[in-house]
Structure 1
Amino acid sequence: MESLMVSSQLGNSSNDSGSCLRENQHMSIPVLMCVVFLLGFLLNTFSLWVFCCRTPCWTSGTILQFHLAISDAIATPVSPMMVVYFAMGNSWPFGRFLCQVKIALLSSHFYGSTMFLTLISIHRYAVVVRHNRSSYMKQKEFVGKLCAGVWSVLLIQSLIYAFMLPPSKDGRNSQCLSIHQKNLTDSYFVINFILFIFGFLLPFLVSAVCYGRLANSLTGLNISTAQGLRVKEKSQRMIGVCLLIFGLCFLPLNVIRTTAVVLKKYFPGQCHVLLQVETAYYVSWILIGVNSCLDPLLYCFGSQHFRDAIRSLRIVQTERSNRSDSENMANQ
């Protein structure tokens, strides 16, 4: 606590120069970040294996879930670099190119997830609410082209941000994607609101409308049949998980980052508050990693083939275990 007060006092004393002294983050933040992203990587790698090797018949929904799993897995290389970054006192040791790679991967991960989650909500709306009508979202060829278009947008976006937000020197330390880069304050401010509006707010509103219409249609669904009850339960679970992901994983990061860029631009002298917001921002990265762990639940709720593949794996494992027990008993 005393060190925090001293850091705050030192930061306030540097207001004349228009900058705040950076405070080292606790190592528990990058360690938890690394653990969560690694767990998400393992879950999504398993999901990708199930899609590629255990799912013989792909639907339009399967294609969307496959691309969501890819967007969740690509951010994993960033977490070890962040651990080293914090361990070296918030100094980026990997150079300009890897800093740009980090920004590109994080951008593609954060906003690829929101885009594909939104497309999954639109697809679910088309399948359940408009089940008697034709829709492009039910066509595999169209959905495949749509996913290619999304990745093209993500690639262009990530390259633009990577070149607009280069690393910079602060004395002996090198900073990468840091609120303390004074020369990039205006760039962070503009980019943040573009990402907040088009990368979070609009996808969330579209998903909320689709799931709201879906929830309304479920009230009139005939649940006297097993199929009707199954559709209702699966859709309710998907609604819950998707809204949980948006609220728990993506909302904190966007709100905290917006607060940080506003403070840095209009209230640069509030060093103590800015340092606390910076810590909260890195904590929100852990919640983004939780998103990678929750998304596989959507695959279970949204794909019968995915559930059948996991069930077949369980059966094979049980048969192998029983066969092993029988062989042991015979040898005895």
Structure 2
Amino acid sequence: MHLFVVAVEKLGVEESFVELRPFLFESHPEDHLIHLFTQVTRPVLISSKLNVFQKMNGMLSPSIFPINHSLSVPCEPGPQHISITILVCLLGLGGALLNSFSLWVFCFRMKTWSAGTILQFHLGLSDAMATPAIPLMATSFAMGSCWPFRQFVCQLKIALLGMHFYGSVVFLTLISVHRYVAVVRHKSNSAMKRVGFIHKVCGAVWLFLLVQGMSCFVFLGTSQVGNCTQCLNIHQGEYIDAYFAINFVLLFFAFLLPFSIAAVCYCRLASSVSRINANSAKGQAIKARSLKMVAVCLLIFAVCFAPLNVTRTVGVMIKKYYPEQCRLLLKVETTYYIAWILACANSCFDPLLYCFGSPDFNRAVRSSLKWLGHRFQEASSNNEQDSLELPTRTAHSITFLDKEAPSNTSK
């Protein structure tokens, strides 16, 4: 009996010995003791065998029993390089200044608007939609790729960026079609030449952009990934199906189709312009301006919007079908942010498009710069005159006080 008690204590199940006490005082306790000993020691033996197997499994080669650790470890975003934040701030500030000046010229320095001017003005409005969103993006990058604001601000940022990017693409396409009609089919009575029709088209475009922005506002938002709150990020696993569907819809209808239309229009335009008689000054001006406009528009599509759509498509496909490729996904994410910076540069290129596409805008810019220069000179001359008059006024006041002092003394 003593040996049995010692064995039970060695096995670490001494609390189960309480159950044995009623049987120790029976006349024939052997059968009961054997049965209970088996029940008590069986879990301990099984646990010991499992521990031995786990130790042996840890000593075996990984090639024999492969374990996919990437499936259990989530792919969390990391902070981006500081240069991305700096470039976002610089391009955002430059684009905001140029676009604000362009809108001011359209609204206050141009008296009459043609159909092409209306399209260019609405392109400037779509560029202005990104101005409130860029500081939010720069703040997020500076905070280590974490979203520090509320969900409403995130949803507003998503809606504004969508309206900006795809509004720019649509209005660039409409400008291409209008330029093609105005130059290649200048003798035809096309609706693209009528101001009223262009107003209706622009209204329909803004309605489409508003629906698209509100859809993203309602269905997308923030989520917690690791220790960070994310907004419009590839690492948001619960939104990957939505990102995947939205990406391919926008890839076709908001990039490939508009780019194809613009490319066809500008190829026909370049072919037609090359046959213009360049002997006259007017012919040379039309030819040069049209070719520059073609180059700038295709440059915007190729440099600003193509990398953004390509990297976003690659990113959502990796996240959906190859989520274990964490290192590759992080590299694609950084590339996507660089492409996003290039897309922000379209606000800097669009004023060149206005200058090449509209002689009236070009003249208004020159007159506006002259007017601003005159105002600056007048302001500086007034400041210099005030600075010269200040010592004279001070001297007069001192002389006046000196004259008043004796009179006060005499009194």
Q: TM-score, normalised by structure 2?
A: 0.74
Given the superposition, is the C-alpha separation of residues 323 and 43 from structure 1 closer, same or farther in structure 2, using an over 3 Å criterion?
A: closer
1:261 to 306, 311, 316: 316
- Displacement of 1:31: 2.2
Structure 2 matches for 1:126-137, cutoff 5 A? 126-137=181-192
Find the counterpart in structure 1 of residue 141 from structure 2.
86
Query: How many angstroms does 1:305 deviate by?
Result: 1.2
Query: Contact (CA 8 Å) 2:76, 2:225: kept in 1 or not?
Result: no
Q: Secondary structure at the match of 1:174?
A: strand
Between the aligned partners of 1:39 and 1:194, the Cα distance in structure 2 is 31
Q: What's the offset of the Cα at 1:313? A: 2.6
Helix, strand or coil for the counterpart of 1:58? coil
- State the match for 1:140 in structure 2: 195
1:206-235: CA deviation from partner (whole Å, max 9, x where unpaired): 000000110111121111221111111110
1-structure distance, mates of 2:186, 2:327: 55
Q: Distance in 2 between matches of 1:319 and 1:37?
A: 29
Deviations 1:23-53 (A, max 9, x none): 2111221221121011101101100000000
CA contact (8 A) 2:105 2:368 kept: no
- Which residue does the alignment assign to 2:208? 153
1:173-227 superposed Cα distances (whole Å, 9 cap, x missing partner):
2111010011111111111111111111111000000001101111211112211
Aligned residue number for residue 5 of structure 1: none
- Does residue 211 (structure 1) correspond to residue 211 (structure 2)? The answer is no
- Identify if the C-alpha distance between structure 1 residues 324 and 303 changes in structure 2 by more than 3 Å, giving closer, same or farther: same
- The answer to whether structure 1 residue 276 and structure 2 residue 331 are counterparts is yes
* Aligned CA distance change for structure 1 residues 174 and 230 (closer, same or farther; 3 Å): same
Q: Which residue of 2 aligns with 1:20?
A: 75
Superposition deviation, residue 320 in structure 1: 6.2
Task: Tell me, in whole angstroms, the C-alpha distance in 2 between the residues paired with 1:317 and 1:110.
Answer: 31
* Aligned twin of 1:301: 356
Contact 2:170 2:258 in 1 (8 A): yes
State the one-letter code of the partner of 1:292. Answer: S
**Retained in 1: the 8 A contact 2:278–2:287?**
yes
Alignment equivalent of 2:122, drawn from 63, 67, 79: 67
Larger of the two Rg values belongs to structure:
2
Residue identity in the other structure for 2:272: S
1:62-112, CA deviations, whole angstroms, 9 ceiling, x for partnerless residues? 000000011111111112112221222222121111111010000001100
- 1:285 aligned to 316, 340, 361, which one? 340
Indicate the structure whose relative CO is greater, using CA pairs within 8 Å and at least 6 residues apart. 1
Find the partner of 1:232 among 260, 263, 287: 287
Q: 1:109-139 CA deviation, whole Å, 9 max, x = no partner?
A: 1100000000000000010000001111111
The percent identity for this pair of structures is 53
Q: Which residue of 1 aligns with 2:7?
A: none
**Contact 1:241 1:298 (C-alpha < 8 Å) held by counterparts:** yes
Question: What is the number of equivalent residue pairs in this alignment?
Answer: 319
Find the residue that maps to 1:175 and give its secondary structure: strand
Deviations 1:115-172 (A, max 9, x none): 0000000000010000001111111111011111101000101111222222112244
Instruction: Provide the rounded CA distance (Å) in 1 between the counterparts of 2:284 and 2:308.
Output: 36
- Hey, what's the Cα distance between the residues in 1 that align with 2:146 and 2:367? 48
Name structure 1 gaps, 5 residues minimum: 1-11
Superposed CA RMSD: 2.2
Task: Give SS of 1:294's match.
Answer: helix
Secondary structure in structure 2 of the residue aligned to 1:113 = helix
Deviations 1:260-312 (A, max 9, x none): 01111111111111000000111111101111000000100111111111222
Distance 2:380 2:241 in 1: 67
CA distance in 1, matches of 2:174, 2:278: 26
Amino acid at match of 2:171: F
